[in-house]
Amino acid sequence: MPGEIGLEEVRRLLDEDYGQLVEVLPEREYQEEHLPGAISLSLKTLTDETAAVLDRSRPVIVYCWDDG
């Protein structure tokens, strides 16, 4: 079950555990502004093939705009 985390834990995972940020908003929104180092994988395009860019041994942190 994916865990819900806050900003502090996100930063810890990025700093200490090679966390990978994944923005799931539409590509245009990603292009305009995204978190540093994040990759874009929109929900509609999320498949085994597109997710292959991620390292399975490292934490994956997905985000959108907010929790709404």
Partner 1 sequence: MSPRAAWRLETLGFERVHDFVGGKLEWLVAGLPTEGTGPHHAVAGEVVMPATFVCGLGTLSGVVRSKLRAGSDSVCAVTNEEKIVLGRVRWRDLPDADDVPVEDFMQPGPATVRTIEQLGPLVGRMQETGVKTILVTDAKGRLLGMLHRGDAERLLNERP
List contacts with partner 1 (CB under 8 A): 1-7, 9-10, 13, 19, 21-25, 30-38, 41, 43, 46-48, 51, 54, 56, 58-68
- In the complex, the smallest distance separating the C-beta of residue 16 from partner 1, rounded to whole angstroms, is 13
Distance between CA atoms of 33 and 36, rounded to whole angstroms? Answer: 9
**Shortest Cβ 63–partner 1 spacing (Å):** 4
Which is it for the CA torsion 31, 32, 38, 42, positive or negative? negative
Of the pair 16, 65, the CB lying nearest partner 1 is at 65
d(CA 60, CA 50): 14
